[in-house]
Structure 1
Amino acid sequence: MTGLYSAAFIETLRRGALSLVGTWGLSPRTEVSLLNISENATFLAADPDTGTRVVLRVYRPGYHTRREIESELDWITALRARHVVDTPEPLTVPGGGHIATFDLDGRQREVTAFAFMTGVEPSPDEDLSGGFHELGALSAHLHAHTRDWPRPTGFVRKTWTWETTVGPTPHWGDWRAALGLTPDGAAVLDRLCEVLRRRLAAYGTGPDRFGLIHADLRLANLLVDGDRIGVIDFDDCGFGWLGYDFAAAVSFLEHEPYIPALQDAWVAGYRTVAPLSAEDEAMLPTFVLLRRLLLTAWIASHAETPTAQELGAGYTGGTLMLADRYLSKAG
């Protein structure tokens, strides 16, 4: 693996995380192993003396500020206190707070710990309609909470607008660097980008359609255990369009023929909890294309991650296919 997360760098992060296990009351015999690499490096800490398992997240440098990390954990804590969603408990450190650090080349690297949650990721090969009905209801509960939750002073999270996703100041890099993108393909995506800009501007960011969202409710961040759907990884939570939570839920599946059925199920589930207007529903395919183009940029800027290496330039080709289909309906 090349790029930021080389094998040597992952091992350095693992050792740094291992040095902190005592912070959360784990024994010196605790074993720390890699779970996954995405934006951050996530490790499993398993204590053989007590059987305790804890998930450790070592944050990617330059992505979130410390205050942004604290704000994420503030929201998770509030959601858990009001039983809005099943999500792992952020573990505290001595003296209060949730963030521990270790030194790496003179820079402090932030680490947080979460209680281990049982469950398995839903498979795209199974019938997801029932799960998406529940996910729609869950999304509505999350959105209802954010409307009336008094955010703590200094709460800071990123915003996910056209400008910061696929526009001039993208959080995840420029889609023009997409793997395998040709000049002809870039022209198609330029047109898509402009159509997205116009439609999103017309839709607007009123409080009934734009607010604090999870922003990454994809299958990899759901843990199903019996009738329970657990939600993990609020690392991308921020301010965005509420309908974007559906688009994130179908990440990397956007080309599948069953997406319209999943949209119908999500909408029906959402409406069991809160209103969703016809205009809101009609915008969901636009959010799916916004998310798809954003992920196309992410794959290029995070090429060392397993997800990017698995999808590669083929994902760019799929984006062009979806863009053509979307633009043909846009006129």
Structure 2
Amino acid sequence: MLADTIPLQVLLRHLDQLANSSLQLWAVPEGAQARLINVSENATYLVEAGDFRSILRVHRPAYHSRRGIEQELAWSQALAADNMVLTPPPIIGRNGALVQKGHHPDLPEPRFMVMFAFAPGRQPDENEDLAAPFERLGAIAARTHIHSQGWQKPTPLERLHWDAEAVFGPQANWGDWRDAPNVTPEIRAVLEKAEALICRRLAAFGKGPDRFGLVHADMRLANLLIEGETTRLIDFDDCGLGWFLYDFATGISFMEDHPQVPVLRQAWVRGYRSVRPLSEAEEVEIDTFVMLRRMALLAWIGSHIEAPEPQAMAPHFAAGTAKLAQAYIEGFA
């Protein structure tokens, strides 16, 4: 969201007005109201009217082009149509388009918007036993990777990249991790060693088509809906070109140091191998992708610090990242 310079509470007030005034762009029931349920990269609203419910995503400016959003929706719909994943479909607007554009007089730029069908299920909690959900998630990830390899991608593909350059380069997607809160000189020294090791190992790992392609890139708990034995995957907003194993790292986003992560890793790998081969050499490199993602999240906190979630994590995230980095460095010593 932080492309905006408007104070967050003022921005959210404008976005609330924009969301509600824009509901007429879809064939929703009369009297429908949009209520904010999450703010991160985008603002997400629950739309309700009687028994009707849907989800409205209001995009941040300058993150994706209209064509890029259309490509995201095309892939998620193709995955669903080919029975690779369960994911709620987007809802077509009155004008026949999936991506709508809304304006607010006090916002400097128009906002792209997408409405999705409401899907049942609950977001899992990191402190519950997640072994079974992660085994299912591994299988889901493998199916998306198989589909990614065979799907005819739009040209040009206007999606983000999630490689070393995208995390550590001068135009990193979420900025420089060095600018994050509480990155002391001591922490910076450890993380710079970790960055160098990550880059060396990723260069050796390579970007062969069996390892690198179109990935969801954000399979964290917030983007899973669990209903009994069923797992739905939502929010393909960050999908782009990256390493397939990056999807495991995104699955443990913000909980990389949780005690059950080793069990979750085993479960995810087991589920993945039930669908798609995964070599021992690839499994070893999972630690590198976890560290790559963690440092990307550190940068994300720094560049999104006005939002509630980054603010809550900021006091300890850098120190926790350095601790993980030191273990990573020693693991490959």
Q: TM-score of the superposition, structure 2-length normalised?
A: 0.95
Once the 2 structures are TM-superposed, how far is the Cα of residue 95 of structure 1 from its aligned partner? 3.4
Q: TM-score of the superposition, structure 1-length normalised?
A: 0.96
Letter in 1 for 2:259: P
Once the 2 structures are TM-superposed, how far is the Cα of residue 166 of structure 1 from its aligned partner? 2.3
| Contact persistence 2:27–2:93 (CA under 8 A) | no
Partner of 2:74: 74
State the percentage of identical aligned residues. 44
- The within-5 A match list for 1:201-216 is 201-216=203-218
| Contact persistence 1:121–1:220 (CA under 8 A) | yes
Report the secondary structure of 2:91's partner residue: coil
Distance (Å, rounded) in 2 between the aligned partners of 1:103 and 1:33 = 18
User: Quick one: which of 185, 189, 192 aligns to 2:191?
Assistant: 189
| Worse-superposed segment, 6-15 or 137-146 | 6-15
Q: RMSD value over aligned CA atoms?
A: 1.6
Which contiguous aligned blocks of 4+ residues in structure 1 show a shift greater than 6 angstroms?
A: none
Partner of 1:52: 52
| Contact persistence 1:247–1:284 (CA under 8 A) | yes
Partner of 2:267: 265
Distance (Å, rounded) in 2 between the aligned partners of 1:224 and 1:5 = 35
Partner of 1:249: 251
Partner of 2:228: 226
Distance (Å, rounded) in 2 between the aligned partners of 1:155 and 1:5 = 33
- The within-5 A match list for 1:2-151 is 6-48=8-50, 51-104=51-104, 105=107, 107-151=109-153
Distance (Å, rounded) in 2 between the aligned partners of 1:288 and 1:32 = 36
Distance (Å, rounded) in 2 between the aligned partners of 1:213 and 1:137 = 14
Alpha-carbon spacing, 1:101–1:251, altered in 2? closer, same or farther (3 Å)? same
Report the secondary structure of 1:11's partner residue: helix
Q: Deviations over 1:285-327 (max 9, x none)?
A: 1100000000011001001222101111201110011111111
Q: Deviations over 1:123-172 (max 9, x none)?
A: 11111111111111110011011111112344321111101112332100
Distance (Å, rounded) in 1 between the aligned partners of 2:126 and 2:171 = 32
Once the 2 structures are TM-superposed, how far is the Cα of residue 111 of structure 1 from its aligned partner? 0.7
Distance (Å, rounded) in 1 between the aligned partners of 2:96 and 2:199 = 43
Letter in 2 for 1:209: R
Distance (Å, rounded) in 2 between the aligned partners of 1:269 and 1:256 = 20
Letter in 2 for 1:147: Q
| Worse-superposed segment, 267-276 or 75-84 | 75-84
Report the secondary structure of 2:110's partner residue: strand
Once the 2 structures are TM-superposed, how far is the Cα of residue 71 of structure 1 from its aligned partner? 0.7
| Worse-superposed segment, 290-299 or 258-267 | 258-267
Partner of 2:277: 275
| Contact persistence 1:178–1:297 (CA under 8 A) | yes
| Contact persistence 1:4–1:304 (CA under 8 A) | no
Once the 2 structures are TM-superposed, how far is the Cα of residue 79 of structure 1 from its aligned partner? 1.2
Once the 2 structures are TM-superposed, how far is the Cα of residue 106 of structure 1 from its aligned partner? 5.5
Partner of 1:160: 162
Report the secondary structure of 1:20's partner residue: helix
Instruction: Report the count of equivalent residues.
Output: 329
Partner of 2:287: 285
Alpha-carbon spacing, 1:28–1:8, altered in 2? closer, same or farther (3 Å)? farther
Once the 2 structures are TM-superposed, how far is the Cα of residue 185 of structure 1 from its aligned partner? 1.2
Alpha-carbon spacing, 1:281–1:248, altered in 2? closer, same or farther (3 Å)? same
| Worse-superposed segment, 87-96 or 56-65 | 87-96
Partner of 1:198: 200
Partner of 1:308: 310
| Unaligned ranges ≥5, structure 2 | none
Once the 2 structures are TM-superposed, how far is the Cα of residue 227 of structure 1 from its aligned partner? 1.4
Alpha-carbon spacing, 1:201–1:101, altered in 2? closer, same or farther (3 Å)? same
Once the 2 structures are TM-superposed, how far is the Cα of residue 261 of structure 1 from its aligned partner? 1.3
Distance (Å, rounded) in 2 between the aligned partners of 1:127 and 1:284 = 21
Distance (Å, rounded) in 2 between the aligned partners of 1:106 and 1:299 = 24
Report the secondary structure of 1:107's partner residue: coil
Distance (Å, rounded) in 2 between the aligned partners of 1:130 and 1:262 = 9
Alpha-carbon spacing, 1:5–1:228, altered in 2? closer, same or farther (3 Å)? farther
| Unaligned ranges ≥5, structure 1 | none
Distance (Å, rounded) in 2 between the aligned partners of 1:91 and 1:269 = 31
| Contact persistence 1:71–1:156 (CA under 8 A) | yes
Once the 2 structures are TM-superposed, how far is the Cα of residue 4 of structure 1 from its aligned partner? 5.0
Alpha-carbon spacing, 1:5–1:292, altered in 2? closer, same or farther (3 Å)? farther
Letter in 1 for 2:267: A
